[in-house]
Amino acid sequence: MPAMPPKRRTKARKQPLQQRSRETVAVILEAAARVLEARGLEGYNTNAVAERGGISVGSVYQYFPNKDALTLALITRFEDALLAKVRDAVAASEGKSLTASLNLIVRAQLEAHAERAGLNRILEAEEDRLRPASSGTSAAGELKELVADLLARHRREIARPVDDDAVEDLIVISRAMVDHALQNNLSQAAATRRVLRAIEGYLFGPRPDS
Amino acid sequence: MPAMPPKRRTKARKQPLQQRSRETVAVILEAAARVLEARGLEGYNTNAVAERGGISVGSVYQYFPNKDALTLALITRFEDALLAKVRDAVAASEGKSLTASLNLIVRAQLEAHAERAGLNRILEAEEDRLRPASSGTSAAGELKELVADLLARHRREIARPVDDDAVEDLIVISRAMVDHALQNNLSQAAATRRVLRAIEGYLFGPRPDS
Amino acid sequence: MPAMPPKRRTKARKQPLQQRSRETVAVILEAAARVLEARGLEGYNTNAVAERGGISVGSVYQYFPNKDALTLALITRFEDALLAKVRDAVAASEGKSLTASLNLIVRAQLEAHAERAGLNRILEAEEDRLRPASSGTSAAGELKELVADLLARHRREIARPVDDDAVEDLIVISRAMVDHALQNNLSQAAATRRVLRAIEGYLFGPRPDS
Amino acid sequence: MPAMPPKRRTKARKQPLQQRSRETVAVILEAAARVLEARGLEGYNTNAVAERGGISVGSVYQYFPNKDALTLALITRFEDALLAKVRDAVAASEGKSLTASLNLIVRAQLEAHAERAGLNRILEAEEDRLRPASSGTSAAGELKELVADLLARHRREIARPVDDDAVEDLIVISRAMVDHALQNNLSQAAATRRVLRAIEGYLFGPRPDS
DNA sequence: TATGAATGAGCCTTCATTCAT
DNA sequence: GATGAATGAAGGCTCATTCAT
C-alpha cells in the first residue's frame, strides 16, 4: 500500500475577496487550463502557467499553496460546471418521461465533457491522484442526490429497487460510457445513444435474481 | 490540442533471448511493481527500482529504453495476466449458461484486479497517459474477441443485436464497475453481484427503440 | 577574503518624530521579536512580521529600508535594554564593595539575557553577520566606560593593571559565560556563581608575568 | 520558543567507500569552504558549490542530503582539525609545567581558528542554527576530556576544585577569547597573552567564597 | 501615509539518463 | 553485460521589495 505523502495545504491560501484578486484567480485558472490543454501534464508547471497568464509565479502562489492545489481548483471548476449543467437538465426534465429526462441529462454530461475534452480527461486522471482516496466531494454528493431524486420520481417505471447502490452504479456507468465515447470521438448522436442504452439497460433490465 | 511530444522509443531495447536476461527483466518488473506499490507514482523512479531489484540503474536501461517503457511493460504484464484469467474463465464456461459464464468471467476480472489492487489502479491511470490515444493493444483485441465469441454463442438469449459496439460497451461497463468496486473495498460477493447486475441489465434490458 | 556586498542603507529611513509613527515602529519591532521567537530565523520574514503586527508590509518598509535594518533595530533595542540594566546596577553599587558591585552587574546581565532568552540568542548570532566587522556601537562604547569606571574606582583591590584590554576581556568573558549559562538553562544562582567566579578569577588572579 | 523545524536527514546520504567517491566528497567540501570564504553565507548555495568544485549539483546531493548537511560536514571537519591540534598540543605538553602546557594548547587553538578565520567564524555561527540545541558532539566530549585530564595532572597547582563545571567554563572562556582575538586581528603574541591571562586568572584566582 | 497585490530573481532539490570503467 | 557515479535540465517555491491605488 502506497505510503501517504506528508500532508500539505491544498486549500486556497487566501480568499479572493477583492475584485482584483478574483480576477487574478480567474486568470490563473484559465492559464492553467490552457497550459494543460496545449502541453499536457508533461508541460504543465507553475512557471508556464504564470507566463501564459501574463503574471508572475509569485501571484500563483499567492492564491494557491502549491501546484496540486491549483490543479484541484481546476478539477473543482470542472465539476461545478458539470454539476450546473446536470442540475439544469434535471430542472428542465420536470414532467417529462424518464427516458426523455435521461436523454437530457446524458446530453448535459456529454456537453460538459466535450467542451474541453482534452483538458477534462487530464483532470479526471489527476483527480485520482489528488483526492485522498474517495473523499466524497460535495459535488459528487449533489450529483447523487439529483440522480436519486429523479429516479425516485419515476420509481414505478424502474425494474429494480432504487437504492444508493443503484444510483452509484448508474453514475459510474454513465461516466465510463461518456469518457469512452469522447475518447473515441463518437458523434453526439452516437454517443448519446450508446450511453443511454447502457443506462436504460441497467434501469429497465430484468430484476436481478440473487 | 496537445502538441505531440517528440517520439521516443518505448519498445523493449532488446529481446531477452537469453535465460539470464529474461530473469533480469522479471526482476526489474517486479521491483518496479513493488516500488509503485510501496511509494506510489510519487516515489516511483528508476533509481529506486534498481535499488529495490538489487541491480544497477544501468541494467534497467539495458532492457528498457526509458522509464515509460518500463511502466508500459508493467501494464502489459498486468493485461496479460488479466487476459489469461479471462481466457481460462471463458474456457471453463463451455456449455454453461450465459449467466453462469458471465459470473465466471466477472470473478476472473475481479480477481485479476484485486490481486494487487493498489498497483493495478496506478497502472490503469498511467495507461491513459502512455498509450497514444486508443492505440488498440493486442490484449485489448483478444479480450474483445473472447467476449464477442461468448456473446455469439448465446445470441438467442440476448435482447439486443450483438455487434462490436455492444462488446465494447460491455467491456467498458464491467471495467468501470470492477474499478469502482475495488476502490470502495466491496466484498467479493457484493462486487460480483453489482458488476453482474450492470452487465445483465445491458444484455437483457429492453431492446433499444432507435 | 569575502567580497564586500554592495552597500545598503541600514539606518532607519525616517526619524519617527510623530507620536503615531513612534507607535508603529514599536509595533513593528515587537512583531518582529515575536516572529523570531515563535518561528526562529527560519520563519522570520517581513511579510510574517507585518501580519503579526497587524499592519501591511508596506508600512514596515516605510520605517525600515530593508529587513536587515529591522533586525539591527531589534539588536539595538536589546542592547539598549541591557545597557540600561547595567547602568542601573552600576549606579546602585555606589559605595559597595567590588565583589558586591560585580554581583549586581552580573545579575543585571543575566536578567537582560534571560528575559527573552531565545530571541536574544538569535539576535546575538545575527549581530555578527550584520555588523561590518567590529564596528563599535555606541552601546558597546558606553558599556566599556561603565565597566572601566567601576574598575577604576576599585583599582587598588585589583591584581592587574586596569587597561582597555582588561575591560574588553572582562566583557568578553562575562558575555560568553552568560550565554553559556542561559544555553544550558542554569539556575539564576548557579549562573551567577559561575559567571562571577570567572570574572573574579580574571581580576584577582595572579599578576601576569609578561 | 522557536518551533523545531521538521526533522531532516542530516547524515551523509552514502558512505564514500570507493576511492572516486572519497575524492568527490573532498572536492565538494573544499568547494563549499571556498564559496563560503569568497562570498559569505549570502552567496553560499549548492549550485555555486558545484560550480566551484567543477562538478554538478547532482553530485553534491549524491553525498549530502541537503545543504545543511553539507554545512554540518564542514563544521565537523573544522572541529576535527581543531581537536587534532589540541590533542597534539596536550601530547606535546607531557612533563611540562601547567603554564607551559596551557600555552601550547592556546596556541593550538589560535592556529586552528586563524587558519581560515573567515570561514571558521561563519561555521561557528551556523553551528548554533544547525545543532539541535546543545547536542553534545563527540568532538566536544573529547575536548572536555583532554582538558580535564590535563587539569587533573596539575591538580595541586590549581586554586579551585577541578570539576566538570570548571572544565566547561575554561573551554567557554578560551573559545570566547580566541574568537575575540581573531575578530580584532590581534597578533599571535598579543592574542596568546590575553587568552592565557584569562585562563590563568580563572585557574589560579582566589578560591570562590560562596 | 497605508495597503497588499504583484513581482521575479534565485535557490534547493530531483531524477531520467549516460558512459567510463 | 554490469556498474553506479556523474550529469544537468528542469521545476517547485520563497520572500524581499516595489508601487499603483
pLDDT value of residue B160? 81
Q: Max Cα separation, chain A?
A: 61
Number of H helices, E strands in chain B: 9, 0
Question: Of A20, A8, A13, which is closest to residue A62 (Cα–Cα)?
Answer: A13
Class of domain A78-204: mainly alpha
Cα atoms in the Cβ-side hemisphere of radius 13 Å centred on D86: 26
Q: What is the CATH number of domain B74-204?
A: 1.10.357
Residue carrying the nine cell digits 584590554: C165
Task: Determine phi and psi for A176, rounding to 5 degrees.
Answer: -60, -45
Task: Let me know how many helices (H) and strands (E) chain C has, helices first.
Answer: 9, 0
Residues in A touching B198 (Cβ below 8 Å): 169, 173, 202
The residues near B60 (Cβ < 8 Å, ≥ 6 apart) are B28, B46, B49, B50, B53, B70
pLDDT tens digits, one per residue of B174-191: 999 999 999 999 999 999
Q: Which residue is nearest to nucleotide F19 (CA to C1')?
A: C58
Q: Can you give the pLDDT at residue B93?
A: 93
Mark out the alpha helices in D57-187 (DSSP H runs): 57-63, 67-92, 98-115, 117-130, 138-153, 164-183
pLDDT at residue A167, as a whole number: 94
For residue C185, is pLDDT > 60?
Answer: yes
Query: What pLDDT, on a 0 to 100 scale, did the predictor assign at position C131?
Result: 86
Window from A159-163, D42-46, D68-72 with minimum mean pLDDT: A159-163
In whole angstroms, give the CA distance from residue C119 to residue A42. 46
Write down the residue that cell numbers 454530461 correspond to. A109
CB A24, CB A63: distance < 8 Å: yes
User: Residue B118: which of A2, A169, A177 has the nearest Cβ?
Assistant: A2
Residue B61 to residue B67: CA distance in whole angstroms: 8
Q: Which three cell numbers stand for residue A73?
A: 481548483
| Integer Cα distance of C93 and A22 in angstroms | 65
Phi and psi dihedrals of A161, rounded to 5? -60, 135
- At residue D4, the pLDDT reads 39
Q: From the CA of A46 to the C1' of F13: give the distance in Å.
A: 10
What's the pLDDT score for residue B10?
66
Architecture of domain A11-65: Orthogonal Bundle (1.10)
Mean pLDDT of chain C: 89
Task: Give the CA-to-C1' distance from D62 to F5 in angstroms.
Answer: 9
C window 7-46: Cβ near strand E (< 7 A): 14, 18, 20-21, 24
A58: confidence class by pLDDT, cuts 50, 70, 90: very high
Which nucleotide does the CA of D23 lie closest to, via C1'? F5
For B201, the grid coordinates are: 441489465
Residue A72 CA: distances (Å) to CA of A52, B41, B121, C202: 19, 18, 20, 67
- Smallest CA-to-CA distance from A23 within A54, A67, A47, A66 is with A54
Task: Please check whether strand E approaches the CB of B15 to within 7 Å.
Answer: no
Per DSSP, D156 falls in state G
Domains A11-65 and A78-204 equal at CATH topology level: no
Cα separation, A57 vs A46, in Å, equals 7
Q: Residues 24-83 of chain D: which lie with beta carbon within 7 Å of strand E?
A: 43-47, 57-58, 60-61, 65-67
Residues of B in contact with A180 (CB under 8 A): 168-169, 172
CB A49 within 8 A of CB A37: no
Please, which pLDDT band fits residue D5 given cuts at 50, 70 and 90?
A: very low
Q: How confident is the model at residue B102 (pLDDT cuts 50, 70, 90)?
A: very high
Q: What SS3 state is found at A75?
A: helix
Angle between helix D46-53 and D67-92 (nearest 10): 60
> Closest partner residue to C125 among D125, D177, D193, by Cβ?
D125
Structure confidence at residue A18 as a pLDDT band (50, 70, 90): low
Give the 3-state secondary structure of residue C207: coil
A150-174 pLDDT, tens digit each: 999 998 888 788 899 999 999 999 9
Chains adjacent to B (≥3 CB pairs closer than 8 angstroms): A
Query: What's the start-to-end Cα distance of chain A, in Å?
Result: 33
Would you say the C-beta of B44 is within 7 Å of strand E?
yes
Are the C-beta atoms of residues C1 and C52 closer than 8 Å to each other?
no
What's the pLDDT score for residue B186? 94
pLDDT band of D59, cuts 50, 70, 90: very high
Work out the mean pLDDT of chain A and round it to a whole number: 89
Nearest CA distance, B15 vs chain A (angstrom): 29
Per the prediction, chain B carries an average pLDDT of 89
Q: Distance (Å) from CA D114 to C1' E14?
A: 38
Domains in chain C: boundaries? 15-64, 67-204
Residue C9 has pLDDT above 80, yes or no: no
Which CATH number is C15-64's, of 1.10.10.60, 3.30.565.10, 1.10.150.120, 1.20.1090.10?
1.10.10.60
Which pLDDT value is given to residue B161? 85
Residue-level pLDDT at B24: 94
Q: Is the pLDDT of residue A3 over 70?
A: no
For range D103-114, the mean pLDDT:
96
Percent of chain D with pLDDT strictly greater than 70: 88
pLDDT at D110: 96
CB B110 within 8 A of CB B98: no
Contact B89, B147 (CB under 8 A): no
Spell out a b/e string for B93-123, using b for 16 or more CB atoms within 10 Å of the CB, else e: beeeebbebbbbbbbbbbebbeebeebbbbb
CA distances to D17, D23, D50, D63, D74 from D55, in Å: 19, 12, 5, 13, 18
Tell which strand F nucleotides have any atom below 7 Å from a protein Cβ: 1-20
For residues A34 and A8, is the Cβ–Cβ distance under 8 A? no
d(CA D77, CA D71): 10
Q: Is the pLDDT of residue C115 over 90?
A: yes
Does residue C20 sit in helix, strand or coil? helix
Mean pLDDT of D187-194: 94
pLDDT at C87: 95
Question: Is residue D6 scored above 50 in pLDDT?
Answer: no
pLDDT score recorded for residue D14 = 55
- ∠ CA A62-A65-A71, nearest 5°, is 105
The cell 560585580 sits on which residue? C102
Query: What is the Cα–Cα distance from D176 to D106, expressed in whole angstroms?
Result: 12
Average pLDDT over residues D80-99: 94
Please list, in sequence order, all residues whose beta carbon lies within 8 angstroms of the beta carbon of residue D144, skipping any fewer than 6 positions away: D164, D167, D168, D171
pLDDT at D16 over 70: no
CB within 8 Å: A205 and B210: no
Mean pLDDT of B152-169: 90
Selection from A164, A191, A202, A201 nearest residue A106 by Cα: A191
The mean pLDDT value for C79-98 works out to 94
User: In the prediction, which pLDDT does C171 show?
Assistant: 96
Summarize the confidence of residues C30-39 as an average pLDDT. Answer: 97
DSSP track, B154-171: TGGG-SS---HHHHHHHH
Q: What is the mean pLDDT of residues A49-66?
A: 97
Query: Which pLDDT belongs to residue C6?
Result: 45
Distance CA C182, CA B32 (A): 53
CATH code of the domain occupying C67-204: 1.10.357
Between the alpha carbon of residue B114 and those of residues A57, B139, D59, the distances in Å are 42, 19, 41
Cell of D23: 575524492
Phi, psi of A102 (to 5 degrees): -60, -40
pLDDT at A10: 64
**Mean per-residue pLDDT for C26-30?**
97
Higher pLDDT, D15 or C193: C193
Mutate to test the interface with C, among D173, D196, D200 (most CBs of C within 10 A): D173
